[in-house]
Amino acid sequence: MTLVLPIVIPLLAAALLLVVPARAVLQRSVALTASAGQLIAGLALFRQVQVDGYLVLQVSDWAAPFGITLVADVLSSILVVAVGIVGVAVGASSFAGVDPRREAYGYHPLIQVLLMGVAGAFLTGDLFNLYVWFEVMLMASFVLMALHRTSEQIAAAFKYVTINLLASAVFLTGLGLLYGSAGTLNMADLAAIWPARNEPVLDLVLATLFLTAFGIKAGLFPLFFWLPASYPTPPAPIGALFAGLLTKVGVYALIRVFSLLFRGGPPLPLQLLLWLSVATMIVGLVGALAQRDFRRVLAFNLVGHIGFTTIGLPLGTTAALAGSLLYIVHHILVITCLFFVAGVLLQLRRTTDLGRLGSLYRDHPGTAVLAMIPLFSLAGVPPLSGFVGKLAVVQGTFGAGAYGPGAAVLVVSLLTIVSMARLWDEAFWKPADAPPVSPRPAPLLLVPVAALGALILGMTVAAGPLFETTTRAAGQLLDPQGYIEAVLQSGLGRGE
């Protein structure tokens, strides 16, 4: 039961939101309550996985390779908790006001559907079902992006949906090939039979197709260009939701599929992924340095740091993968928080153009201090979570003997410091005579920033246990025998 709750709760909320009267307060309360429920369900799942290692549910009681399986291992459960946290932050931010036209056209139900899609993608044990969750997310996010119908947003949504449909088509092609050859799309079943099949050519084709499809979703070089073009345009909570969660689903799918299917598989796509990760980091950060808009700098930083989250997979050591997984958690919290900061800037100055921002530290010291936490955390200033995450990635990379990529990680960390220092300098420090449009920041807009900032600080305190947990998750991923047994042997088991 715990396993379906993170999916069922947002679905229930989406349905309720369509039925209850369209009064703003009511809609927002239902949405926030549901997200809190999803977070609690995620935490319960996390605790149970800590005890049992794996949780498996055969939906509709169809035995494993035939029906749809839901599986939670340590990685899935961590990510479901992260979905809950981002959901609560977005739900709380809606109380600060949502454009009434957006609210009338299904803003809240769509967010719930999106949260359901992300949780479903993290929990499914079936590749075709993963495709379905991708489509659920794509539809919800497309409508959320285009809801306001300004020409800028329509253009962004068009780019977004085109490239993501292409990714879906590539994924589906891969699924067709795989199903035609293996006769199953259950991930555990595939993991049990596929690596022994020894079909090098098909393996290479499939690995390349999946790398392309998930690489687009994750925003990996050279297929990231749609992301900075589309993420900065929607309002802050939507941007935060997309930036925090959607790319991570691509990263998760890469990690899950490659660790299950291509363990001893072709070295070429994995080698490619290693250098794509490095290229993503460098191109993302160099791009960030060239930008003159707060949100666009964030979008390029988002791309650049995706490289940190994918670099552990091709290296193949527990330490490197655990480092990348830890970085995923840090990245979700920090990037979400920074997009909320962008929302506060929009409220205070009506713009995120760095040339027209400034003096925010002088005018709003409290807000500036809150914004400092995610900014400096992304930069990797000790003792914030970015430092912990980067340290884990660097240690893992050097520990795996990959000195070139390790050096790239260090250089890119330096570039991140430069990029964040520039944001701080231009937006908060630089004197500007632009009169503030709004005298005080709306306290409700600061709530998600403060709460996520507290979590970022909390991540520093809990770095040890958290790294132990991601090490366990990496261990499970690198030795999928437990996953296979847990899924296939629960075939006739009732419940969980």
Partner 1 sequence: MSPLILRTATRVLMPLMVLFALFMLVRGHNDPGGGFVGGLVVSAAYALLAFTSGVAEARRALIVDPERLLGVGLLVALFTGLSSALAGEPFLTALWWGGLGSPLFFDIGVFLVVIGVVLTMTFTLAED
Which residues would be at the binding site for partner 1 (CB under 8 A)?
Answer: 1, 4, 8, 11-12, 14-19, 57-61, 494-495
Min dist. Cβ of residue 109 to partner 1 (A): 8
Cβ-in-10-Å burial (0-12, 13-18, 19+) of 214 comes to buried
Which parts of 94-186 fold into alpha helices (H)?
Answer: 100-104, 107-123, 127-146, 151-182
Cβ-in-10-Å burial (0-12, 13-18, 19+) of 43 comes to middle
* Contact by Cβ (8 Å): 281, 339: no
Residues facing 55 on adjacent strands = 72
Q: Nearer to partner 1 by C-beta: 12 or 391?
A: 12
Min dist. Cβ of residue 1 to partner 1 (A): 5
Min dist. Cβ of residue 100 to partner 1 (A): 17
Q: Nearer to partner 1 by C-beta: 2 or 397?
A: 2
In whole angstroms, what is the distance from residue 135 CA to residue 411 CA? Answer: 37
Which tokens hold the place of 338? Answer: 């920074």
Which tokens hold the place of 280? Answer: 């993503």
Min dist. Cβ of residue 495 to partner 1 (A): 6
Q: Residue 62: which residues within 8 A CB-CB, separation 6 or more?
A: 68
Min dist. Cβ of residue 113 to partner 1 (A): 10
Q: Residue 85: which residues within 8 A CB-CB, separation 6 or more?
A: 39, 332, 333, 452, 455
Q: Nearer to partner 1 by C-beta: 122 or 242?
A: 122
Q: Nearer to partner 1 by C-beta: 1 or 169?
A: 1
Q: Nearer to partner 1 by C-beta: 19 or 196?
A: 19
Min dist. Cβ of residue 45 to partner 1 (A): 14
Min dist. Cβ of residue 63 to partner 1 (A): 11
* Contact by Cβ (8 Å): 301, 374: no
Min dist. Cβ of residue 19 to partner 1 (A): 4
Q: Nearer to partner 1 by C-beta: 13 or 400?
A: 13
Q: What size, in residues, is the chain?
A: 496
Q: Nearer to partner 1 by C-beta: 4 or 166?
A: 4
Min dist. Cβ of residue 58 to partner 1 (A): 6
Helix, strand or coil, per DSSP, at residue 414: helix
Q: Nearer to partner 1 by C-beta: 60 or 151?
A: 60
Q: Nearer to partner 1 by C-beta: 140 or 466?
A: 140
Residue 263 is inside which H or E element, if any? none
Residue 127, CB half-sphere, CA atoms under 13 Å: how many? 28
Min dist. Cβ of residue 8 to partner 1 (A): 7
Q: Nearer to partner 1 by C-beta: 104 or 290?
A: 104
